[in-house]
Amino acid sequence: MLRSALGIDVGLTGVRAAVLSEDGRLLGSARRPVEPALAPGRAEGDPRAWLAAALDAGREALAGEPADAVGVAALGSAPILVDAALEPLTPALLFSLDTRAGDEAGRLGVTNDHALPKLLWWQEHHPELVERAAWALDATGFLVARLTGVPVMDAITHADYDVRGVLSPLPLPEPLDPLAVAGGLLEAAARGLGLAPGTPVAVGTYDSFADVAGVGVRRPGDACVILGSTLIIGRVVESPVAIDGLAVARYPGEGLLVGGWTASAGSSISWFEREFGAADVSELEPGAGGLVALPYLAGERTPVWDPHARGLLLGVTLSTTREEAYRAIVDSVALSALEHAKRLEDAGLGPDLWLAGGGGTRHEAWLHATCDALGAPLAVAAHAGEAIGPAVLALRAIGAEPKLDPVRRVEPDPRRHERFEQVYDVYRGLHPALAPAMRRLAALE
């Protein structure tokens, strides 16, 4: 009998749930919005709201049908302090968007994405909460803990709490394989989802690495580009390799993933659509109207590692149209993918095919812009944009190997690729030239 799993994915603006069978069929899905609390320098998630939305969306996706396992993936790093009963004492502080621990990060020589500076910030500014806390958990581990009663942290996430020579001010769970089983569903959680108590729950990991697993990346040579609120792009290698601006990380598969993840990709496009409206830009060329943009609307991770980076629209004239500006924003995200890919190519790691996933694959202009910029085919995963990644982790945790065949292949347009190369010559010089001005402007916020 075919097995199935419920996947729950907690992102920046909501929770998605999906039920996947091991033959690759999507059996159900649901979504619930959960907005973060954002203010200058502050970005907080509500752990209780995440849990309620996860149970609600999971129950709707299941629609009363059974599942053999549950998988969870969530944004991160997003540390949360919990008491002995696993009740949250704090909101989750959301990765590089929350910069209150910037001084601590600077002293440790790490980025604002790192979780340990945030624990040290709590220790300095809210010692009473640290005194009451039994554990520091990340978003995924918190949700798994509330489903199973077992505080957990996967090994990928654990690395963001580790700085050599610096002790965590709070207990952390021992690092576990994301594909391990954390425990079985507690009775209350099982009732909330409509599943049997004791149903296995995988340890899980960050949503970005679950998405990588969800497109079928498993072994050295595989390469992927995930079009989501952030962009994930990388290739699997057998052993560590140092590439300027990129990162090397464990992932749920063989070897190591070398590449990067941006701070803002689909969220930059969504910002433009929200403020100025979407537009049909499929007929416009890359660089239409002589415009180029930088998509650094939330600072930037790879490859520039600059929390003070800011967005830019260059080349505006009195004749610039909304459509041309929108095209420039879409192009900027594709150019970010190209910048990562060129660094891989320079190291001899440029792939012939990219496995593609994420909700952005449903945005035809963005999908084709990415393909044209990279100059290589994209094999688009099935059910892209659904919470497939954590369901895949759950199935693998119980020994099932889900079928993950791509559903379409997108080929690059050579002429548009050449246009992207021309625009890229301008794009690549903008951040080095403007970084000091960006830093000064960031100080005025």
Model pLDDT, residue 40: 86
- Averaged pLDDT for residues 164-177: 96
pLDDT digits (tens, 9 = 90+) for 214-241: 999 999 999 999 999 999 999 999 999 9
pLDDT category at 345 given cuts 50, 70, 90 is: very high
348 class by beta-carbon count within 10 Å (0-12 exposed, 13-18 middle, 19+ buried): exposed
Residues 98-119: tens digit of each pLDDT: 999 999 999 999 988 999 999 9
pLDDT at residue 349, rounded to an integer: 97
Residues forming a β-bridge with 154? 176
Closest CA to 201 of 152, 158, 134: 152
- Beta-sheet pairing, 223-227 with 14-21: unpaired
DSSP-based three-state secondary structure for 260: strand
Calculate the average pLDDT of the chain: 96
pLDDT score recorded for residue 102 = 92
Amino acid 109 reads: G
Residue 442 has a pLDDT of 86
What's this model's pTM, rounded to 2 decimal places?
0.94
Q: What percent of the chain has pLDDT over 90?
A: 97
Q: Which residues contact 202 (CB under 8 A, 6 or more apart)?
A: 69, 70, 71, 72, 144, 178, 179, 180, 181, 182, 390, 393, 394, 396, 397
Q: Which domains does the chain have, with CATH numbers?
A: 4-208 (3.30.420.40), 217-380+413-442 (3.30.420.40)
Distances (CA, A) of 41 to 91, 98, 389, 443: 15, 5, 30, 11
Q: What gap in Å lies between CA 236 and CA 253, rounded to an integer?
A: 9
Secondary structure (DSSP) of 220-242: TT-EEEEESSSEEEEEEESS---
Please report the pLDDT score of residue 100 as a whole number: 95
| pLDDT score for 445 | 75
% of the chain with per-residue pLDDT over 70: 100
The whole-number average pLDDT for the span 126-138 is: 97
Look at strands 153-154 and 175-176 and give their pairing: parallel
Residue range 193-202: average pLDDT?
A: 98
For 287: left if phi > 0, alpha if psi spans -120 to 50, otherwise beta; the answer is left
Using pLDDT thresholds of 50, 70 and 90, give the confidence band for residue 443. Answer: confident
3-state SS assignment for residue 109? coil
Question: For 416-436, what is the mean pLDDT?
Answer: 98
Read off the pLDDT band of 43 (50, 70, 90): very high
pLDDT tens figures, 270-282: 999 999 999 999 9
Cβ contact 269:333 at 8 Å: yes
